[in-house]
């Protein structure tokens, strides 16, 4: 999607502080971290949100879920971490391209802010 921020980051057209990349996903540090460690896992495929997932995406979603622990370990989050997916305006999803937040090393508030 040409005017999508996370598509542009996934393509490398907009720079990011990347921590992991493979053929299906990219992971980079959030520009406005809400915890000492805060990264986003983004599928390279443009999917607007969880609401738009189809069974065709089952392998991709499985891939992301299985990568989370590896990325968390790489980031030194052996003490634990939170994984957040915001869906839609009422959840304050600001970027309309599916992404998984991983937050760690504490500063946990719920709801955030």
* Residues lying near ligand AMP in the complex (CB under 6 A): 5, 16, 30-32, 40, 86, 92-95
* Residue 51: closest CA among 3, 94, 98: 98
Catalytic-residue membership of 38 = no
Report the residue from 29, 44, 45, 46 that binds Zn ion according to the rule CB under 5 A: 46
d(CA 14, CA 12): 5
Task: Assess 7 for contact with Zn ion (CB under 5 A).
Answer: yes
Considering the complex, state which of residue 11 and residue 59 has its C-beta at the smaller distance from ligand AMP.
11
Q: Please, what is the minimum distance in Å from the beta carbon of residue 87 to ligand AMP? A: 9
Interaction between residue 91 and Zn ion (CB under 5 A) = no
Q: Which residues contact 37 (CB under 8 A, 6 or more apart)?
A: 75, 76, 77, 81, 102, 103, 104, 105
Tell me the residue number closest to Zn ion, measured at CB. 4
Distance between CA atoms of residues 104 and 66, nearest Å: 17
Handedness of CA 90, 92, 98, 99 (dihedral sign): negative
Tokens of 45: 């495929």
Q: Which of 38, 97, 99, 101 binds Zn ion (CB under 5 A)?
A: 97
To ligand AMP, the closest distance from the beta carbon of 17 in angstroms equals 8
Catalytic residues: 99
């Amino acid at each position: 999607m040409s005017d999508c921020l996370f598509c542009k980051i996934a393509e490398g057209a907009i720079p990011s502080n990347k921590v992991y990349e493979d053929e299906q996903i990219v992971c980079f540090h959030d520009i406005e971290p809400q915890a000492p460690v805060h990264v986003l896992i983004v599928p390279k495929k443009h999917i607007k949100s969880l609401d738009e997932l189809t069974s065709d995406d089952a392998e991709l979603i499985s891939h992301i879920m299985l990568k989370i622990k590896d990325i968390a370990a790489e980031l030194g989050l052996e003490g634990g971490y939170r994984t957040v997916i915001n869906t839609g305006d009422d959840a304050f999803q600001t970027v309309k391209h599916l992404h998984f937040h991983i937050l760690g090393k504490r500063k946990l508030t719920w709801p955030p802010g």
